Amino acid sequence: PATESKRLRIAMQKSGRLSVDSQALFASCGLKINLREQRLIAHVENMDIDILRVRDDDIPGLVMDGVCDLGIVGENVLEEESLQRKMDNDSFDYTVLKRLDFGGCRLSIAVPQEEDYTGVASLDGKTIATTYPRLLARYLKEQGVNARIVNLKGSVEVAPRAGLADAICDLVSTGATLEANGLKEVDVIYRSKAVLIQRKGLTDSKQLQLINKLMPRINGVMQANE
């Protein structure tokens, strides 16, 4: 029945760099979840919440299409999806409820260590491999650089050695991966953290109440971690 309130659906990364911290955040907000089962949906035992465990790349779309109410995802993935949807004239609306204190990384351009890099203009006419073609294209356009973008879903860091590209644009945290592949970071184009987002048009009063209960807890947990 239409009057019956739906459970709040939160999307999180199933396994990867954001999943442990996302789980820990939920736990410290008092959500009792049994995540040991390899299930897509985990029911929160003590609140009207379901946790959806998916690939991080699917989270922006699930929230923007209104399939999930909340989601935790990296700003890099969120912004890339937004740019893509703008181009495709698809809906790309969402609200950021909180910028979180994990998942920090930067999206950077890197070139072979022996390369003489004198600034972004030296990428003119070059080929750059990346998993983030829209973010890279936006940056290159802002900088007035004309380069060819090769879209790779993985193994971006081996592209120069494999002769597929002159440079790469990839996520960096410690820099160890770049170093191990004979590359040097030359330009940071985007700084990212995990964010908690909410879909547009969420009006169910029970669900809104639940979010209003969660937010102070999230803020409290983050303050305690500072």
Taking CB under 5 A as the criterion, which residues in 42-71 touch Zn ion?
56-57
Pairs from 170-177 (Cβ < 8 Å, separation ≥ 24)? 170/107, 170/108, 170/110, 170/130, 170/131, 171/76, 171/105, 171/106, 171/107, 171/108, 172/105, 172/106, 172/107, 172/108, 172/110, 173/104, 173/105, 173/106
| 132 or 139: CB nearest Zn ion | 132
The helices-and-strands tally (H runs, E runs) of the chain is 6, 11
What proportions of the chain, in percent to the nearest 5, are helix, strand and coil?
35, 30, 40
Count of residues that bind ligand PRT according to CB under 6 A? 21
Q: Report the site for ligand PRT in 42-61 (rule: CB under 6 A).
A: 55-57
115 binds Zn ion (CB under 5 A): no
Q: Which is nearer to ligand PRT, 56 or 81 (CB)?
A: 56
Interaction partner, residue 172 (Zn ion, ligand PRT, none; CB < 5-8 Å by kind): ligand PRT
User: Which of Zn ion, ligand PRT, none does residue 173 bind to, with CB < 5 to 8 Å depending on kind?
Assistant: ligand PRT
Q: Residue of minimal CB distance from ligand PRT?
A: 74
81 binds, among ligand PRT, Zn ion, none (CB under 5 to 8 A by kind): none
Q: Which of 6, 16, 191, 206 binds ligand PRT (CB under 6 A)?
A: 16
Q: Judging by DSSP bridges, how do beta strands 8-13 and 148-151 pair with one another?
A: unpaired
d(CA 221, CA 226): 9
Residues that bind ligand PRT in the complex, under the rule CB under 6 A:
13, 16-18, 55-57, 74, 76-77, 103, 105, 170-177, 192
